[in-house]
Amino acid sequence: LKKVRQLITDWKSKWGMESTWPKKFHEELKHAQGRGQLTSEALFSQCEAHIKGRRWLLCLLRSITCKGFKGMGYKVADSYKQVFDLLTSLLTKLHFFEVKLDKYAPISPMS
């Protein structure tokens, strides 16, 4: 669980605190649009890769919960709470990028 937490933290840290994601995304988008279609498409491709590259963490969290946890009741409950918190954190970022891509990315890129 500790390793998964670190993977999620590292993945999320590339964009900083969650409250700054919308501003950062719009700054990146504005910069890319100012440089042309290919740069914009590259930004969308990077965002898509950012999402797809970490979807496996959802499967990993699921696998961890399917195996169960050993220990006393409160330790097991705490482990499940940690998984829930990680899942919530992960889904928040995945959803953010999916919504932005749905809104701004072209349906069929020209390249």
Hey, which of 8-12, 32-36, 54-58 has the most confident mean pLDDT? 32-36
CA distance 32 to 28: 6
CB 4 within 8 A of CB 60: yes
**Residue ranges of domains in the chain:** 20-104
Residue 97 has pLDDT above 50, yes or no: yes
Give the pLDDT of residue 111: 45
Mean pLDDT of 88-107: 88
pLDDT > 80? residue 110: no
pLDDT given for residue 107 in this prediction: 66
Q: Cα(94)–Cα(96) distance, rounded to whole angstroms?
A: 5
- What are the residues whose beta carbons fall under 8 Å from the beta carbon of 17, sequence distance 6 or more? none
pLDDT digits (tens, 9 = 90+) for 48-66: 988 887 888 899 998 988 8
**Poorest-pLDDT segment among 14-23, 36-45, 75-84, 94-103:** 14-23
CB atoms within 10 A of CB 47: 20
pTM over 0.95: no
Local confidence band at 82 (pLDDT 50, 70, 90 cut-offs): very high
